[in-house]
Structure 1
Amino acid sequence: MYEKYDPTRLPDTPFLFFTGKGGVGKTSTACATAVSLADQGKTVLLVSTDPASNLQDVFEEELTNEWKFLKALPRLAVANLDPEEAAKEHRENTIGPYRGQLPDSLIASMEEQMSGACTTEIAAFDSFTTFLSDEQLLKQFDHILFDTAPTGHTLRLLQLPQAWSGFMEENPNGASCLGPMSSLAGKKHAYEQAMDSLNDGRKSILFLVSRPEESALYEADRSSKELVELGIKNQRLIINGLISQSVLDGDEISIAFRKNQQMALQQLSSHLEELETYKLPFAPLSLTGIESLRQWLSSDFYEGNVEENIDVPDVSNVEQVVDDFAQKGKGLIFTMGKGGVGKTTVASSIALGLVKKGYRVRLTTTDPADHLSRIFSETKNERLHVSHIDPKIETERYKDQVFAESGKTLNEEEMTYLKEDLDSPCTEEIAVFRAFADVVEHSEEDYIVIDTAPTGHTLLLLDAVQSYHKEIKRSSGEVPDSVKKLLPTLQDENYTHMCIVTLPEATPVFEAERLEADLKRASLHPSWWIMNQCLSATYTEDPMLKAKAYSEHQWIERVNKRTEQVAVLPWQKNSFSIHHFD
């Protein structure tokens, strides 16, 4: 179907970027590419800005943010940049000059403004701008590879003219995503050089890495279109983890697994179909060591060999999760996690379980795709109310309100900045939060189950607006009573229950751990961790899938050690299948 990915046939392009949603195999693909190029006699530098990077494990050497040549492969140099540390330094460079000059409450607000993902993204881009513009590095290396490319959102921020204006210096507490940029004014030329390199197809190729799964391909499609709008058109698509179409024998699980992959690829968007596309084979075990990376690229089949029986750890199942919530009699239930981990199906399963116990349940999603309508299209139950909050509609409504309230007091330059400031993910999060605050206030059901909850950063940002808005020159709009009431309600562990949904793999677990830390900053403590789509709970006998199931154990055990309430949900044939109850 697709040509196999072969780095020996890559054009002589100095910059190679690898991007994609968490857990699709960006790091493995970037590392294997770097090894192959070095084996061809090229001098290569690999730079990672992934917060969940495991380059030390892959290359089996200690690595830092200073690049060094590997002992096992002297032509390959590696730098493992820590975006969290970069964000911390970036935050202090921005806020430090104002300490002692502004009220403590305003400093606290500024710190929260810069604690979100935007700051990490900007700081990461700032870190690797050096690698894109350093002429000495370009003379020393034939290729520079980046594991985790900048998102379209980050690049769009860098193109906003007001972000570089003197207005930032006069308003350092600007509300959402522009605040992180306020210390970068002196680097505009270097950023313009970096953007020129990204947009130049003779200098850069951007690889979108995906798995043959609907959610991963949807994210690849969205990212690709966003980057094309910014002028980054030299893109390739790599489908990672593809099992040969001809291998259809095996047990029920293995056959369904292969069919799911083929169905996802058959639904590939017309936009992605236009991209030059390659495939990489399914690798059930961790790709550690240079030899394993070479084998992965050279073999059509990466064989796993696990002979011992796989025992599922002694953890709960979805029925026990529902029983735990049902004992409360009423409450708010949130499913949280990164895209593609199965929040929607977990939320649907919990809601249906509570309905079957006789409770009235409102199930609400903020997912633009609104998969709930698809899941419950034929379900008729007077105790279940399914609704959808459209982020785009709510964001536009919120913007209109802010413009109406702020337009009376801001001048033209300030209004221009405000418009740019509101074009940020933080704005959407706040707008959506306000919308489901209204849902909670006006619902009459026993339970409200919300698919995709606000992050701890969003809650603290709202709290900052509520507490300090009189001191913030640029108004973020009046905080409705429904929001004021909901903020303390979410911190009531007897009424509000948060479920962190993840997959039994390295990157999703690391991302979930960061989400938990984010929530704890807002005094929110998850009730359950739910490990979704676990092959180890299916008892498959397929050699490759059994090897994959075996590799899940370390992640299930890692989560099991950090929290008392863990549930394991088996891999489902249909990614939108509800876990049914007897």
Structure 2
Amino acid sequence: MALPNVETRYLFFTGKGGVGKTSLSCATGLVLADAGKQVLIVSTDPASNLDEVLGVTLGQTPTAIPGATGLYALNIDPEAAAQAYRERMVAPYRGVLPPAAIQSMEEQFSGACTVEIAAFDEFSKLLGDPAATAQFDHVIFDTAPTGHTLRLLTLPSAWDEFISTSTGGASCLGPLAGLEKQKALYAATVARLSSPMETTVILVTRPEAASLKEANRTRNELADLGVRNMHLVINGLFFTPNHEDAIADAMSSRAAQALAQMPEALAELPGTTIPFLPRGTVGLESLRLMTHAEIPAVPENANGIPHTELPSELKPLIEEIAKVGHGVIMTMGKGGVGKTTVAASIALALAKRGSRVILSTTDPAAHVASAINGAVPGLTVTRIDPEVEVAKYTREVVEKAGKSLDASGLAMLEEDLRSPCTEEIAVFRAFARTVHSGKEGFVVLDTAPTGHTILLLDAAEAYHREVMRTQGDMPESVRELLPRLRDKDYTHVLIVTLPEATPVHEAERLQGDLTRAGIKPFAWVINQSLLASGTKDPLLAQRGAYEVPFIRRVVDGLATRSALILWFAEAPVGLAGLSQLFS
């Protein structure tokens, strides 16, 4: 099995959640290290699972991977980076300003924007400063799902332009003099990203229509950023020559159809195809299997799916939620686990019961409208569009604050609003406004992948502390956001996962993060189970047997309520396809 041919020093693995970016970036790094290269793998995902895949606890400095000479890895920890950034900005004033002023400064630096720029600073050092990674022949970036990654890759240009055009002395992140020092680093980061001699971006996708569509959107946006050196990897291709098993036949047919309809520009990229693997890709032994030319042999007893008590279907959970009559339903979890599908099916089921429902998303790469693909009485489909929200927020601030400013002051205000921080604030306020809409009916929110969602919830806590501290003039939706999220009768959080190691373990960490924020999940949904599908195909049955311990972990140890959704022969898209989940 061929992995992408690597010639550049820097590699970015990006794509829709759940396509296998981490496994492929680690397998590629392992191949290079086994060939005698010094390799550093860096995760930019706030919900990184690099530790689990490589089997070692990672920090913010390169850690050697046992059993793989020359291979090192690190996680960019957004919270740790933000703490270091805050201290760097506040430390010079300790002992100079009164304690109350210091506390006020620390509060100012507690928002999601500070987390973003701090994590971005760490990323810029690794890409823009060759001395930071001088000991390595290759640096591999395992990125967050597409929407978050595109935000990361546009930040060098955004901050570089903001610093260049700013005439004021401060921004939402503190004195511009501090940011000015980073200007050369940001410029170098922009240049390195767009240099085909130095950087290759590997677009990872599955042989599925939505995944290929996302890969093509990414290709277009990267091209707009000046990135031309791209390679396409189609991961998990399943093909069966016979038509004796309905599930196997459907999986094979869907893949063939999706590939046949692949956008022409995407198909023209140099590419690599990796076949469907029936086992997980956690640990060095499993990663090395990915590099074999043959699929691992299927055991003779692969058809013997072990007996296990399966959890209930989705319908009872929907019935319990429907009794409340209003509120917010949020689907959360790792990218690629089917949050959008589950959210769309719940919204459809509630609308069919006569409820007024809004289906929306906080994920910049989500496709809730295409999941429904039709008009339903009582159901409104929206999305939180960052560009629209920034324009709306900017207009509100200028109209409100601009009245009392002279021309110079107004110019400084408009300049500050051009900061990339404005997008974080605008999107957060839109999120709060959407949650507020649950007073009048049901709001079903398909959230961004775990890391981005946790940052959004952290922002809710930061805003809540600021409201409590200042009793300032904030919209009711923002003031009431955290109490509403903590109200189990108002907000029902569904943790969505797949019956696999990494999605379940990441979901377990998510549940811990939610608990610390005072938010108790309502239920867990285990999606796309081959075990529950009843397939008799030897390869797919082996995969079904692999699911058992992860289903048991959720049902017996993690969830107070749970539902299992099988892998459907008919794709769960459109009104008929989605209805399968709750019929």
TM-score range, shorter chain: 0.7 to 0.9
Contact 1:67–1:77 (Cα < 8 Å) also in 2: no
| Matched residue, 1:459 | 460
Contact 2:314–2:581 (Cα < 8 Å) also in 1: no
Tell me if 1:309 matches 2:310. Answer: no
| Matched residue, 1:249 | 243
Tell me if 1:343 matches 2:342. Answer: no
Summarize the alignment of residues 146-185 of structure 1 with structure 2, pairs less than 5 Å apart: 146-148=141-143, 151-159=149-157, 160-161=159-160, 164=163, 174=172
Contact 1:44–1:144 (Cα < 8 Å) also in 2: yes
Name the CA distance, whole Å, in 1 between partners of 2:242 and 2:165: 63
Name the CA distance, whole Å, in 1 between partners of 2:482 and 2:64: 50
Give the residue type in structure 1 aligned to 2:237. Answer: L
| Matched residue, 1:333 | 329
Aligned residue for 2:247, secondary structure, equals: helix
Contact 1:133–1:194 (Cα < 8 Å) also in 2: no
Give the residue type in structure 2 aligned to 1:463. Answer: H
Name the CA distance, whole Å, in 2 between partners of 1:161 and 1:491: 39
Contact 2:333–2:497 (Cα < 8 Å) also in 1: yes
Give the residue type in structure 2 aligned to 1:497. Answer: H
| Matched residue, 2:500 | 505
Change in CA separation of 1:377 and 1:155 when aligned onto 2, cut-off 3 Å: closer
Give the residue type in structure 1 aligned to 2:560. Answer: E
Give the residue type in structure 2 aligned to 1:526. Answer: P
Contact 1:5–1:238 (Cα < 8 Å) also in 2: no
Change in CA separation of 1:518 and 1:162 when aligned onto 2, cut-off 3 Å: farther
Name the CA distance, whole Å, in 1 between partners of 2:169 and 2:515: 32
Contact 2:42–2:73 (Cα < 8 Å) also in 1: yes
Name the CA distance, whole Å, in 2 between partners of 1:285 and 1:344: 25
Name the CA distance, whole Å, in 2 between partners of 1:304 and 1:182: 62
Aligned residue for 1:325, secondary structure, equals: helix
Q: How big is the shift at 1:19? A: 2.1
| Matched residue, 1:134 | 131
Summarize the alignment of residues 222-241 of structure 1 with structure 2, pairs less than 5 Å apart: 222-241=217-236
Change in CA separation of 1:359 and 1:103 when aligned onto 2, cut-off 3 Å: farther
Tell me if 1:275 matches 2:294. Answer: no
Give the residue type in structure 2 aligned to 1:30. Answer: S
| Matched residue, 1:475 | none
Summarize the alignment of residues 402-551 of structure 1 with structure 2, pairs less than 5 Å apart: 402-408=397-403, 409=405, 410-421=409-420, 423-435=422-434, 437=436, 439-440=437-438, 443=440, 445=441, 447-452=442-447, 455-463=456-464, 466=467, 479-481=474-476, 484=479, 488-513=483-508, 515-520=510-515, 522-551=517-546
Contact 2:339–2:446 (Cα < 8 Å) also in 1: yes
Compare 516-525 and 158-167 and name the one that shifted more.
158-167
| Matched residue, 1:299 | 293
| Matched residue, 1:217 | 212
Aligned residue for 1:134, secondary structure, equals: helix
List per-residue Cα deviations over 1:308-353 (Å, max 9, x = no partner).
Answer: 4234554332122123224435443333345543333323433444
Contact 2:54–2:283 (Cα < 8 Å) also in 1: yes
Name the CA distance, whole Å, in 1 between partners of 2:66 and 2:389: 54
Name the CA distance, whole Å, in 2 between partners of 1:69 and 1:523: 37
| Matched residue, 2:372 | 375
Name the CA distance, whole Å, in 1 between partners of 2:164 and 2:84: 18
Change in CA separation of 1:319 and 1:404 when aligned onto 2, cut-off 3 Å: same
Name the CA distance, whole Å, in 2 between partners of 1:207 and 1:328: 46
Name the CA distance, whole Å, in 2 between partners of 1:465 and 1:218: 41
Contact 1:318–1:569 (Cα < 8 Å) also in 2: yes
TM-score (structure 2 length as normaliser): 0.80
Aligned residue for 1:346, secondary structure, equals: helix
Q: How big is the shift at 1:298? A: 2.9
Aligned residue for 1:301, secondary structure, equals: coil
List per-residue Cα deviations over 1:249-276 (Å, max 9, x = no partner).
Answer: 3411111112222233234334423422
List per-residue Cα deviations over 1:45-64 (Å, max 9, x = no partner).
Answer: 44444455555555556665
List per-residue Cα deviations over 1:17-45 (Å, max 9, x = no partner).
Answer: 22223332222212222233344444444
| Matched residue, 2:123 | 125
Contact 2:330–2:444 (Cα < 8 Å) also in 1: yes
For structure 1, the 5+ residue unaligned runs are 472-477
Name the CA distance, whole Å, in 1 between partners of 2:38 and 2:412: 48
Summarize the alignment of residues 182-221 of structure 1 with structure 2, pairs less than 5 Å apart: 186-221=181-216
Contact 2:275–2:295 (Cα < 8 Å) also in 1: yes
Q: How big is the shift at 1:529? A: 1.8
Give the residue type in structure 2 aligned to 1:296. Answer: M
Name the CA distance, whole Å, in 1 between partners of 2:176 and 2:154: 12
Q: How big is the shift at 1:574? A: 0.8
Name the CA distance, whole Å, in 2 between partners of 1:119 and 1:559: 35
Change in CA separation of 1:201 and 1:571 when aligned onto 2, cut-off 3 Å: same
Q: Find 1:571's aligned residue among 562, 567, 571.
A: 567
| Matched residue, 2:554 | 559
List per-residue Cα deviations over 1:368-392 (Å, max 9, x = no partner).
Answer: 866447636265x5xx433434625
Give the residue type in structure 2 aligned to 1:134. Answer: A
TM-score (structure 1 length as normaliser): 0.80
Structure 1 vs Structure 2: percent identity of aligned residues? 34
List per-residue Cα deviations over 1:385-426 (Å, max 9, x = no partner).
Answer: 334346254443333222322333344234212122455244
Aligned residue for 1:238, secondary structure, equals: strand
Q: How big is the shift at 1:168? A: 12
Contact 1:281–1:302 (Cα < 8 Å) also in 2: no
Name the CA distance, whole Å, in 1 between partners of 2:477 and 2:80: 37
For structure 2, the 5+ residue unaligned runs are none
Change in CA separation of 1:93 and 1:186 when aligned onto 2, cut-off 3 Å: farther
Name the CA distance, whole Å, in 2 between partners of 1:183 and 1:520: 36
Name the CA distance, whole Å, in 2 between partners of 1:434 and 1:330: 15
* RMSD, aligned CA: 3.9
Name the CA distance, whole Å, in 1 between partners of 2:176 and 2:528: 39
List per-residue Cα deviations over 1:483-511 (Å, max 9, x = no partner).
Answer: 55565444322233222223333444455
| Matched residue, 1:102 | 101
Change in CA separation of 1:78 and 1:538 when aligned onto 2, cut-off 3 Å: same
Name the CA distance, whole Å, in 1 between partners of 2:317 and 2:167: 48
Name the CA distance, whole Å, in 2 between partners of 1:418 and 1:297: 49
Contact 1:162–1:420 (Cα < 8 Å) also in 2: no
Tell me if 1:285 matches 2:279. Answer: yes
Q: Find 2:314's aligned residue among 304, 311, 318.
A: 318
Compare 413-422 and 335-344 and name the one that shifted more.
335-344
Aligned residue for 1:111, secondary structure, equals: coil
Name the CA distance, whole Å, in 2 between partners of 1:40 and 1:106: 50
Q: How big is the shift at 1:541? A: 1.9
Change in CA separation of 1:465 and 1:250 when aligned onto 2, cut-off 3 Å: farther
| Matched residue, 1:474 | none
Q: How big is the shift at 1:567? A: 1.7
Name the CA distance, whole Å, in 2 between partners of 1:52 and 1:91: 20
Give the residue type in structure 2 aligned to 1:315. Answer: P
Change in CA separation of 1:467 and 1:94 when aligned onto 2, cut-off 3 Å: farther
Name the CA distance, whole Å, in 1 between partners of 2:211 and 2:176: 30
Summarize the alignment of residues 9-24 of structure 1 with structure 2, pairs less than 5 Å apart: 9-11=5-7, 13-24=8-19
Contact 1:344–1:372 (Cα < 8 Å) also in 2: no
Give the residue type in structure 1 aligned to 2:561. Answer: Q
Change in CA separation of 1:273 and 1:282 when aligned onto 2, cut-off 3 Å: same
